[in-house]
Amino acid sequence: MKVSRYNHRIAHDGRLLLFNAYRRGLHDVGESVYSALDQLEAGAENWDSELSDSTRATLVEAGYVIEDDVDEHTTLLAERESLRLSTEVIGLTIAPTIDCNFGCPYCFEGAEKPQERMSEQTMSAVVNFARGLITESTRGLSITWFGGEPLLGMSQIEQLTHRFRSAIVEPMGLHYAASIVTNGYGLTRKIATRLRDLGVVRTQITLDGTAEYHNQRRFRIGGHPTFDRIVENIVESCDVLRISVRVNVDEENRESFVPLVKYLQDELGLKGKVSVYPAMLRQ
Ligand code: SF4
C-alpha cells in the first residue's frame, strides 16, 4: 500500500482533517491517522497497527491509501481525456463579445479589448460547427457563455440560443443546458430571469475579497467601484439562477476570504443559497 499523492492535511478549529483532492473525500481523522500515514510513507509494514478495522477500511475506500501499482496521475489524465473526447454531451464555451465594462489590471485579455459583438456570419458558423460535432451517442448540448463580459452580448446570447434550440436541440431531441461566467455587474433580476428563460442554470461571479480589496482590482473602466452593485445583484438573483461566487485569493487579499464568506452567508443571509469558493491565484 502507499499514500495518495492527492492527500491534504488540514488543521482546523482544533480538528485534524484529511482531504483527498482526487476522490474529493473529507474526513475528520485525528492524530492516529496522520501518524499512520507518516509511517506508511516511511515504508513501515505495520503502519496500520494502531488503527481500527473500520478506520483502515475508510482510508482505503476513500482513496487516502492505495495499492502500490495504482498510478493516480495517469488514471486522472486518462479520465480527463475520455471526458474531453466523449460526444455524449457536446460542451462549447462561447464569447459573444470580448468587450468588457471592467478594467481589472490583471485581465489576461488585455486592457484594449475590441468592442465588437459576434457577427451574424460567425453565429451561423458556430451553430454549424456545433451541429457537426453531434454523433449518434450525443444526448445533450452544454454551452458556457464567457467573455470579456458576456452580458454585454445579451442579444447574441439570445440569438444563438434560439438557433441552437431550433436547429439542433429540438429536431434532434437533445437536452440543453447553459452556464455563464460573468463579472455580475449587469446581472439584475430582470437579466437573470431572461437568462433562465434561455436555459442558463448556473452562474459564476467573481469577487476579489471584501469591498476594500475587490474595489481596488475589479473596478469599472474609469475606476468606479463595483462591489456593492454585484452583491446586490447576487442577493436579487439567487433564487432565479444557481450562483457560485468564485473568490480570487492571493497573498494580498487572502485575509479577506473568511470575512467575505461571513458577510455573504451570515449578514446577507445567503447561506445555502449561494456557494462561495476560493480560487488560488499564483504568479
Ligand atoms: S471582468 Fe473579466 S474580462 Fe472584464 S476586465 Fe475583469 S478579468 Fe477581464
- Match 495499492 to its residue by C-alpha cell: 67
Residues 106 and 211 occupy one common structural domain: yes
Number of domains in the chain: 2
pLDDT at 283: 62
Pocket lining: 208 vs ligand 1, CB cutoff 6 Å: no
pLDDT at 280: 86
Taking the CA of residue 218 as reference, the ligand 1 atom at the shortest distance is: 6
Residues 41 and 101 occupy one common structural domain: no
Pocket lining: 102 vs ligand 1, CB cutoff 6 Å: yes
CATH label of the domain that carries residue 131: 3.20.20.70
Give the whole-angstrom CA distance, residue 155 versus residue 149. Answer: 13
Residues 90 and 60 occupy one common structural domain: no
Ligand 1 pocket mutation pick from 106, 107, 112, 281 by most atoms within 8 angstroms of CB = 107
Determine, yes or no, domain membership for 79. no
Determine, yes or no, domain membership for 77. no
Q: Is the pTM of this model over 0.85?
A: no
Pocket lining: 183 vs ligand 1, CB cutoff 6 Å: yes
Pocket lining: 100 vs ligand 1, CB cutoff 6 Å: yes
Residues 215-239 pLDDT 10s: 999 999 999 999 999 999 999 999 9
Terminal Cα-to-Cα distance of the chain (whole angstroms): 36
Q: Which residues of the chain have pLDDT under 70?
A: 282-283
Best CA proximity match to 89, nearest among 169, 145, 150, 159: 169
Determine, yes or no, domain membership for 80. no
C-alpha 250: how far from its chain's center? 17
Best CA proximity match to 173, nearest among 210, 124, 221, 140: 140
Contacts of 123 (CB under 8 A, 6+ apart): 156, 159, 160, 163
Q: Which domain holds residue 263?
A: 86-280
Residues 52 and 96 occupy one common structural domain: no
